[in-house]
Amino acid sequence: MVSYGIISYIMLKKKVSFAMLVHDDVFECEKIKTPFVLGIIKPKIYLPIGLLEEEKKYILKHEQIHIKRFDYIIKLFAFLLLCIHWFNPLAWMSFILMSNDMEMSCDEKVIKEFGNSIKKDYSRSLLSMSVGRRLAVGSPLAFGENNTKNRIKNILKYKQPAFGVLALGVIVISVIGIALISNPISKKLNSEAVFLKNKKYERTETLNSKGFPSEALKKSSFLVEGNLKIILSSPHSSSNPEDYISAHKTEYENILKAGDDSLGYMLLQFRNSSAKDDLRGQIIMRICKDLLGKRNNVQDKNLLPTEWYSKLQIVEKNVMPYFSYDGTDPIEKLVYKTEIEKNQNIRNDLTFLIVAPHIHGTYEEGNKLKVFVTTFSSTYQFYGKTLYEQCGSIIPSAITYVKNTDGSYKLEKYEQAEDGTVLLPSIKTFCIMPVSGKRIEGLSDKIVKYNSDNEDIIKLQRDNLIKHLKVNGQTGISIKEVTGKIVPLT
């Protein structure tokens, strides 16, 4: 199809090579029987010799509209897509209908510009050019006067649509377009889901001994083996696996990007004894360790690949719900709810969030309540019986609420202090009354002073963490802090 498109384009270009310039980008040629637009970088309009002046006016306008709308680029792109999807009848139908729509749309634009009075003359011109004539060569990249019957019908019936009809059309097309370009929700099973919901997947997937779905393994074999082959290809002078990984970082990353699909396939290599204590086995073991991360229970770094696999017991990832305040103080309840909501953006599927606020003061004015607070928020990952502290922050903030008619409060504004040298100025900015904007004397200094002596919220944060674990039935849990120290919690 690509060859057909190129050859037909060249033949048509050759046919009009002796065309005579009329003006600008308009040419007349005695070897053609119908007008068309041809060209990609600088498209030109070719007209057959012998057109009446009135006919020429309509036809020329039609072709100029094609150029103005960049139809010659759109049709080229559509034809390339058709070349790729040549086997799909819907692609052919779409290409044909798109081409017809382009022609009819340009016809409608001509009528809109010249008025309904030209409908009969314009239709007669199209009919006269179509009798016994066809677009020479039939290049898919040229805009010829084809599909005459439907075009004449459309011209004679055409009425400018009302604005409401146009608006509805745009909405419908937009909705359908968004639906068609959206990817389906991925149903790929990952190792964590299998560990947590093993019974559910046993009914639908054949699992290997380490808990990975076999269907995902099949799909990963091509990706893993292809990249492994490249990694193992050089340098032959070395026996150190790290040298091979360093020489092919892109291929190594390709395997890591496939995540648990790659991991499942490589673990199956160990199970089937396809991974041995050789260079290939060493590289597979290193990839497995990188993908497992904290799920790897084997800490001995001196083991051979098969020894490592024999000791491997993948650590479950525990999913924890949000922390929730269980006290009775209405102000604290409001603050906890707000801080949890505002800090959720640092939480993902692998973490859970704990917050601990220290309230400096509350101020009511009119129907508004403003609370000044410093909050310690931190996220954790939870594997097996060990928590891993991920990231934390201690940030002063001002929270403004509006009182509803039923006595409840609605969040209106949430302001956080900035870091570094602008800490004090940013705190001073929000230390004002909620309605009048009057400065609250001494409050900003109090908040800044607390920032250097906040042991109480550090203790409160740890107490909230322990309480949250106990409420969710987690006992015998320890935490590995950022420093690397392991501390028992429950």
Measured CA to CA, the distance from residue 151 to residue 105 in angstroms comes to 10
List helix spans (H) across 303-353.
305-311, 330-342
Contact (Cβ atoms closer than 8 angstroms) between residue 6 and residue 140: no
Measured CA to CA, the distance from residue 487 to residue 477 in angstroms comes to 9
Mean pLDDT computed over 332-345: 85
pLDDT tier for residue 350 given thresholds of 50, 70 and 90: low
CA angle 55, 56, 59 (to 5 degrees): 85
N- to C-terminal Cα separation, the chain: 70
Residues above pLDDT 70, as percent of the chain: 86
Residue among 109, 210, 86 nearest 155 (CA)? 109
Name the strand (E) or helix (H) holding 403: strand 386-403
Name the strand (E) or helix (H) holding 14: helix 2-15
Residue 208: the pLDDT is 46
Name the strand (E) or helix (H) holding 4: helix 2-15
Task: Mark residue 273 as left, alpha or beta (left: phi above 0; alpha: psi -120 to 50; beta: remaining).
Answer: left
Residue 143: the pLDDT is 57
pLDDT at 347 over 50: no
The tens digit of pLDDT for each residue in 431-488 reads: 999 999 999 999 999 999 998 888 999 899 999 999 988 988 888 888 887 777 888 9
**Which residue matches tokens 């609250």?**
440
pLDDT tier for residue 188 given thresholds of 50, 70 and 90: very low
Residue 219: the pLDDT is 65
Residue 81: the pLDDT is 93
Residue 434: the pLDDT is 93
Measured CA to CA, the distance from residue 445 to residue 414 in angstroms comes to 20
Q: How many CB atoms lie within 10 A of CB 296?
A: 17
Residue among 185, 152, 260 nearest 216 (CA)? 260
Residues above pLDDT 90, as percent of the chain: 27
DSSP 229-274: HHHTTS-TT---HHHHHHHTHHHHHHHHHTTHHHHHHHHHHHHTT-
pLDDT tier for residue 186 given thresholds of 50, 70 and 90: very low
pTM value is 0.45
**Which residue matches tokens 């409060």?**
409
DSSP 406-419: TS-EEEEEEEEPPS
Name the strand (E) or helix (H) holding 402: strand 386-403
Contact (Cβ atoms closer than 8 angstroms) between residue 243 and residue 283: no
> Residue 136 half-sphere exposure, CB side, CA atoms within 13 Å?
20
Contact (Cβ atoms closer than 8 angstroms) between residue 48 and residue 22: no
The tens digit of pLDDT for each residue in 99-118 reads: 888 888 888 888 888 877 77
pLDDT at 372 over 70: yes
The tens digit of pLDDT for each residue in 193-240 reads: 443 333 332 333 334 444 444 555 566 788 888 889 999 988 888 889
DSSP 58-71: HHHHHHHHHHHTTH
Q: Cα-Cα-Cα-Cα dihedral of 476, 480, 485, 490, to 10°?
A: -20
Measured CA to CA, the distance from residue 140 to residue 111 in angstroms comes to 26
Residue 189: the pLDDT is 36
Helix (H, G, I), strand (E, B) or coil at 356: strand
Mean pLDDT computed over 386-397: 84
